[in-house]
């Protein structure tokens, strides 16, 4: 029995190592070839260069696309999180008829191919005579972010004890004061992770932006355009490396924030227990 468990415990870490290798190797090629002196991504490497990074700096089309992506990402994250908060609060706090079917509709985009969301919004926009724009992209992104944001927020809200709010009201705090001094601080970690998850989904989304962005490309659309020219590939790889670094920084920051919040609530829990 213990022997078997030991065997299990010894092949699992090896498997985990191999799996991580499979996940990482393709991705690690990006930084490697982004500093390679040759424009063709083949081994052996030709020599170290930072030219590809330099070529990104003065690129107006790229900066415009980056700007569009940030705008869409921030707007989608905010809207998805506000709608997610309403949904999560309603679902965790109240029991009412129609709760399950309504929740299922909100979660539906998780189980739909993105292309149907893209073309259905495209057809509505055309039907109504609206031009394609980043606003449409935001509407689409909010739809696909909502299931994730709602899930994160629901799990964050589930542990929230409404008696804190009642206590705050009993002690003479106004409704607004209760919201800003009791409810929000406790729920903040969930809200921040919802914002981050939604922002990153939007930043990376291609299909919806491809159909709806019209003449204002987002970053993935810009990259897609560049991929048609083999000579531009190293520049794209350099851009990808920078994006990876940026998201790593953001993630590490978020993780630190989460740990801090977790520590604080743990302490609080200790006090009340």
Which residues ranging from 147 to 186 are in contact with other proteins (CB under 8 A)? 150
User: Toward other proteins, which CB reaches closer, 94 or 176?
Assistant: 94
Distance CA 137, CA 153 (A): 23
User: Toward other proteins, which CB reaches closer, 129 or 172?
Assistant: 129
Distance CA 65, CA 55 (A): 16
Q: Shortest gap between Cβ of 263 and other proteins (angstroms)?
A: 13
Q: Shortest gap between Cβ of 180 and other proteins (angstroms)?
A: 19
Stretch that binds other proteins, among 57-65, 179-187, 236-244, 264-272 (CB under 8 A): 236-244
Phi, psi (rounded to 5 degrees) for 94: -115, 150
CA atoms within 13 A on the CB side of 1: 0
Judged by CB under 8 A, the chain residues 5 through 44 that form the site for other proteins are 5, 8-9, 12-13, 15-16, 19-20, 22-24, 26-27, 29-30, 33, 40-43
Contact 146, 80 (CB under 8 A): yes
The pair of structure tokens assigned to 2 is 């213990």
Judged by CB under 8 A, the chain residues 93 through 152 that form the site for other proteins are 93-99, 102-103, 105-106, 108-117, 119-124, 127, 139-140, 142-143, 146, 150
Assess 83 for contact with other proteins (CB under 8 A): yes
Q: Can you give the C-alpha Rg of the chain in angstroms?
A: 23
Assess 211 for contact with other proteins (CB under 8 A): yes
Q: What residues have CB less than 8 Å from 69, skipping those under 6 apart?
A: 202, 203, 218, 219, 220
Distance CA 140, CA 205 (A): 10
Q: Indicate the SS3 state at residue 119.
A: helix
User: By rule CB under 8 A, what count of residues binds other proteins?
Assistant: 84
Q: Shortest gap between Cβ of 199 and other proteins (angstroms)?
A: 12
User: Toward other proteins, which CB reaches closer, 182 or 212?
Assistant: 212
Q: Shortest gap between Cβ of 233 and other proteins (angstroms)?
A: 8
């Amino acid at each position: 029995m213990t022997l078997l468990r030991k065997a299990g415990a010894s092949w699992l870490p090896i498997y985990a190592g191999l799996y991580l290798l499979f996940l990482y190797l393709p991705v690690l090629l990006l930084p490697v070839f982004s500093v390679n002196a040759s424009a063709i991504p083949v081994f052996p490497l030709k020599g170290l260069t930072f030219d590809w990074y330099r070529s990104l700096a003065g690129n107006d089309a790229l900066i415009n696309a980056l700007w569009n992506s940030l705008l869409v990402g921030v707007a989608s994250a905010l809207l998805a999180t506000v709608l997610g908060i309403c949904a999560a609060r309603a679902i965790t706090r109240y029991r009412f008829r129609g709760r399950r079917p309504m929740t299922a509709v909100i979660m539906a985009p998780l189980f739909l191919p993105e292309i149907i969301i893209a073309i259905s919004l495209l057809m509505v926009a055309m039907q109504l005579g609206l031009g394609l724009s980043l606003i449409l992209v935001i509407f689409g992104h909010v739809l696909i972010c909502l299931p994730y944001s709602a899930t994160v927020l629901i799990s964050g809200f589930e542990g929230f004890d409404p008696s804190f709010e009642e206590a705050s009201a009993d002690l003479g705090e106004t409704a607004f004061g209760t919201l800003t001094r009791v409810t929000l601080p406790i729920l903040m970690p969930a809200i921040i992770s919802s914002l981050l998850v939604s922002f990153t989904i939007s930043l990376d989304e291609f299909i919806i932006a491809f159909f709806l962005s019209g003449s204002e490309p987002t970053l993935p659309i810009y990259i897609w355009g560049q991929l048609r020219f083999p000579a531009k590939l190293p520049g794209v790889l350099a851009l990808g490396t920078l994006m990876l670094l940026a998201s790593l920084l953001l993630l590490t920051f978020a993780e630190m924030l989460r740990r801090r919040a977790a520590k604080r609530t743990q302490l609080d829990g200790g006090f009340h227990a």
